[in-house]
Amino acid sequence: MIDIHAHLCFRDFAESRESIADECEKEMQAVIVTSARLEEGICALDLCSRHEKLFPTIGFHPVEGGTEVRRIMELARERQDEIVGIGEVGLDYHWVRDEAKRRQQKEVFSGFIELAEELKKPLVLHCWDAEEDAFEMVRNANVPVIFHSYTGPKELVPGILEHDNFYISISTHVLLSKHLRKLAKLVPLERMTLETDAPFLSPYKYMQAKGAVGKLKPGFDPEKNYPWNIQFSAEKIAELKGVDTADVIAKTSANARLVFGLRI
């Protein structure tokens, strides 16, 4: 299993980070440790340097990334041989309604698109309630693009899939969201990746409703998400598509290897 988007350096994991990383070494084929701000990126580089199945990306969240855009870009250039992608980066209209601030987001995002092309790294795209604008900005990008935790309109999916190097990432929220289950049925496995967005989007409520909390790994906070929980997403997607769970895991993992250039 490969989780293509986990915030293992988020502050919620400060006390348990090493034990989570050790568990990922046992349970996972790989985990892409994403970053959304400078300090998270520095942490991701350090963590991944000590764990062979963890791979870092450097990014800037359009709302929560802070003010150190230039330093984040410098860090990506300085450590380009260590990172496997640029992200998460993009647009967020869910929290930002002011048009001037949205224009600022686009300017910053444009810079990161150029950076990804310069470094020949895939883009991990954040586009909450901004899917159409984000798609327009990346449609001519000459690097792979992953639409991280996609929850946008299903009408946009065919346009995304017209690009051979564009992928849609389905999060563990597929267990709880009817809309996301419809999207999961629509997106072919050949263009899908799986993610947790850990520590967010825990499957706890779903497992509780199913009377299956006992299936969650003991010793870890059930209300936080962890990379190994993509097993539950894979099972749900397999059910939706009428295929074996092993097929979902194998294909989405192969896609992750291809996009991020993982030799594992």
From residue 218, how far is each of 192, 196, 203 by CA, in Å?
A: 29, 18, 14
Note the pLDDT tens digit of each residue in 17-54: 999 999 999 999 999 999 999 999 999 999 999 999 99
Question: Quick one: average pLDDT of 235-245?
Answer: 98
Q: What is the pLDDT of residue 49?
A: 98
CB-neighbour burial class of residue 253 (10 A; exposed 0-12, middle 13-18, buried 19+)? buried
Q: What is the pLDDT of residue 215?
A: 97
172 by DSSP, 3-state: which? helix
Question: Quick one: average pLDDT of 119-124?
Answer: 98
Q: What is the pLDDT of residue 88?
A: 98
Q: State how far the Cα of 44 lies from the Cα of 216, in Å rounded to an integer.
A: 25
Look up residue 98 and give its DSSP letter. -
Phi-psi region of 149 (alpha: psi -120 to 50; beta: other; left: phi over 0): left
Note the pLDDT tens digit of each residue in 195-222: 999 999 999 999 999 999 999 999 999 9
The end-to-end CA distance of the chain, in Å, is: 11
Average pLDDT over the chain, rounded to an integer: 97
Whether the pLDDT of residue 264 is over 90: the answer is no
What does the angle CA 137 – CA 101 – CA 9 come to, to the nearest 5 degrees?
A: 75
Whether the pLDDT of residue 7 is over 90: the answer is yes
Q: Where are the alpha helices (DSSP H) in 16-172?
A: 17-27, 38-49, 69-78, 99-119, 131-138, 157-161
* pLDDT confidence band for 247 (50 / 70 / 90): very high
216 by DSSP, 3-state: which? coil
From residue 47, how far is each of 6, 16, 20, 33, 196 by CA, in Å?
A: 13, 12, 11, 9, 18
Whether the pLDDT of residue 75 is over 90: the answer is yes
Q: State how far the Cα of 65 lies from the Cα of 78, in Å rounded to an integer.
A: 19
What domains are there in the chain, each with its CATH number? 2-260 (3.20.20.140)
Q: What is the pLDDT of residue 208?
A: 97
